[in-house]
Amino acid sequence: MGAMEVPETITCVDCGQPAHRLSHPPEEGWEIGDYVAYRCSGCNDRWDLVVCDEDAPPPFPSYASEFRALREERSAPPAPDS
């Protein structure tokens, strides 16, 4: 698998300001499973992210997807009695 692109900046989900990459690129390039650290220029939060395959499904469901499934289950019309 070839080296992946990792952005120099991301948007902080807490304050919306740019977060700049702290980690230096590895000599062989970024690969799936590498950790990348960012520091927000607005709130100074640090974000440690893992490089992942964008096409792969997440290893676990998110809270949002769990909530959505529960809401759909509860709003579905009741099953007809047989």
Q: What is the C-alpha to C-alpha distance for residues 71 and 82, in angstroms, rounded to an integer? A: 25
Asked whether residue 4 is assigned to any structural domain, the reply reads no
Please tell me the pTM assigned to this model. 0.65
Asked whether residue 80 is assigned to any structural domain, the reply reads no
Asked whether residue 52 is assigned to any structural domain, the reply reads yes
Asked whether residue 69 is assigned to any structural domain, the reply reads yes
Burial class (CB in 10 A: 0-12, 13-18, 19+), 55: exposed
Asked whether residue 50 is assigned to any structural domain, the reply reads yes
Asked whether residue 58 is assigned to any structural domain, the reply reads yes
Parallel, antiparallel or unpaired: strands 46-50 and 18-21: unpaired
Chain segment 57-77, per-residue pLDDT in tens? 666 667 777 777 888 888 877
Asked whether residue 81 is assigned to any structural domain, the reply reads no
Q: What is the C-alpha to C-alpha distance for residues 50 and 7, in angstroms, rounded to an integer? A: 13
- Total structural domains within the chain: 1
Residue 29: domain span: 9-75
Asked whether residue 1 is assigned to any structural domain, the reply reads no
For residues 27 and 52, the model is more confident at: 27
Total residues belonging to the chain: 82
